[in-house]
Structure 1
Amino acid sequence: MTEGRRERADATRNRRAILRATEELLASQPPEQVSMERIAAAAGVGKGTVFHRFGSRMGLMLALMQERALDLGEAVRTGPPPLGPGAPARMRVLAFLDAVVDMVARNKSLLAALGHAVTTTPHAHDDQPRGAHPVYQEWHTHLSALIAEQRPDLDADLVAHLLLSALQSDPVLRLLERGDGRRLADTLRELATGLLDRQP
């Protein structure tokens, strides 16, 4: 193996180890206790390696969130309907909202860590706003396109933001911590169907 390939292999291995260590720490500890130092120690790498690879604590949390969202994105693009292509727009909106709620419910600690990183990283909200992250952009683009297809008279861009923003609020995260994901999914479906089914 050449030196360049060895370096790339090392970088890939380190990235996986850091993300796995972050995930394991978040599963067992409050997000505010999961520091970059503890992540580096758990991953078996230097603290500088973590910062070099991810830039900041928020960058690391966002990268982990993006990893978690990959499967959902793949299902949306190539999976079976109604989440994937081939179903009417209305059905796909509801299936997508259900899938996002399920993902958020299974990753509450990561979302809490994201929120903590946003509030503790200097100027994080200026340099990398949550709404500008590729995961959010992808979700918003997909949802707004489906809403526009079903109801071209609506402000689909804003409606998609409003529906997704519900998943980022503290009251909703507390509701999910109590195991009320089904309640959230049902309510989002009611809101969405109320908009999608109303005649212009």
Structure 2
Amino acid sequence: MASRSGGVLPVVGQRPAERADAVRNRRKILEVAARMLAEDGAEALSLAEVAHAAEVGVGTVYRRFGDRAGLLLSLLDDTELRFQEAFLHGPPPLGPGAPPADRLRAFLHALVDRVEAHPDLLLMTENTTPGQRYGNGHHSARRLHTVMLLTSLRPGADVHYLADALLAAVTPGLVVFQRRHQHRTADEIKSGVNDLLTLL
């Protein structure tokens, strides 16, 4: 999707066409893995248990995802693709059709909700080098989207720096720390995001 500045939003997770049964199996495996991850955490995730719960052979899971890390990365890409579809093409205020300020607020709130829904999965993205963390397609898409909205809100400002600063406030590591150690609620974090946006 082309931006007004001529850039292209990198949409992750695009895959070649698959047979209908393969698509069904993949979806079932990812749904089961997401549920087990939410219930028991990443360390407890077993490919054999995922296969049993998804009612497919364990060989199917290994052939499709390779190992546990491959399954987790595929699950991460799948959730990111759904999120990108929501902010690129979904209903407002997260999707097109709302004023830029409303879209930016909804976008940052949605990032908090993503961490709330998938904390352990998203924490994996923080166990990398800065180049890998901030140079991957997931972050690049979020950053470009934020830059586009800020360009409408603050013409002439250093919108690239502002985008980095805003996204830093809703990184998985910080949100998980605020939730688990500072005992802030998700709504309190979103309220803080709103206060931060008033400084723009």
Aligned-residue offset at 1:22: 0.7
Count of residues paired in the alignment: 180
Task: Confirm whether residue 11 of structure 1 aligns to residue 22 of structure 2.
Answer: yes
Aligned-residue offset at 1:145: 1.0
Deviates more, 1:167-176 or 1:19-28: 167-176
Q: Distance in 1 between matches of 2:159 and 2:84?
A: 20
Q: Which residue number corresponds to residue 43 of structure 1?
A: 54
Q: For residue 19 of structure 2, give the secondary structure of its aligned residue in structure 1.
A: helix
In structure 2, relative to structure 1, the CA distance for the partners of 1:188 and 1:57 (3 Å cut) is farther
In structure 2, relative to structure 1, the CA distance for the partners of 1:131 and 1:11 (3 Å cut) is farther
Consecutive unaligned residues in structure 1, runs of 5 or more: 1-6, 120-124, 196-200
In structure 2, relative to structure 1, the CA distance for the partners of 1:85 and 1:49 (3 Å cut) is same
In structure 2, relative to structure 1, the CA distance for the partners of 1:75 and 1:25 (3 Å cut) is closer
Consecutive unaligned residues in structure 2, runs of 5 or more: 1-17
Q: Which residue number corresponds to residue 77 of structure 1?
A: 88
Aligned-residue offset at 1:133: 4.2
Q: Which residue number corresponds to residue 157 of structure 2?
A: 154
Aligned-residue offset at 1:137: 2.7
In structure 2, relative to structure 1, the CA distance for the partners of 1:87 and 1:60 (3 Å cut) is same
Q: Distance in 1 between matches of 2:48 and 2:86?
A: 35
In structure 2, relative to structure 1, the CA distance for the partners of 1:37 and 1:136 (3 Å cut) is farther
Q: Distance in 2 between matches of 1:19 and 1:144?
A: 31
In structure 2, relative to structure 1, the CA distance for the partners of 1:134 and 1:55 (3 Å cut) is farther
Aligned-residue offset at 1:56: 4.8
Q: For residue 129 of structure 1, give the secondary structure of its aligned residue in structure 2.
A: helix
TM-score when scaled to structure 1?
0.71
- Across the aligned residues of Structure 1 and Structure 2, the Cα RMSD in angstroms comes to 3.0
Q: In the alignment, which of 164, 168, 173 is matched to residue 170 of structure 1?
A: 173
Q: Distance in 2 between matches of 1:100 and 1:187?
A: 13
- Whether contact under 8 Å (2:30, 2:75) holds in the other structure is yes
Aligned-residue offset at 1:25: 1.0
Q: For residue 96 of structure 2, give the secondary structure of its aligned residue in structure 1.
A: coil
TM-score when scaled to structure 2?
0.71
Aligned-residue offset at 1:81: 3.3
Aligned-residue offset at 1:11: 2.0
Deviations 1:42-71 (A, max 9, x none): 334455543442355444323323333444
Q: Which amino acid aligns with 2:132?
A: P
- Whether contact under 8 Å (1:89, 1:149) holds in the other structure is yes
Deviations 1:102-145 (A, max 9, x none): 23222224324x35xx75xxxxx47x934344433322221111
Task: Confirm whether residue 143 of structure 1 aligns to residue 154 of structure 2.
Answer: no
Percent identical pairs in the alignment equals 38
Aligned-residue offset at 1:185: 1.0
Task: Confirm whether residue 194 of structure 1 aligns to residue 190 of structure 2.
Answer: no
Q: In the alignment, which of 122, 145, 154 is matched to residue 111 of structure 1?
A: 122
Q: For residue 113 of structure 2, give the secondary structure of its aligned residue in structure 1.
A: helix
In structure 2, relative to structure 1, the CA distance for the partners of 1:33 and 1:79 (3 Å cut) is closer
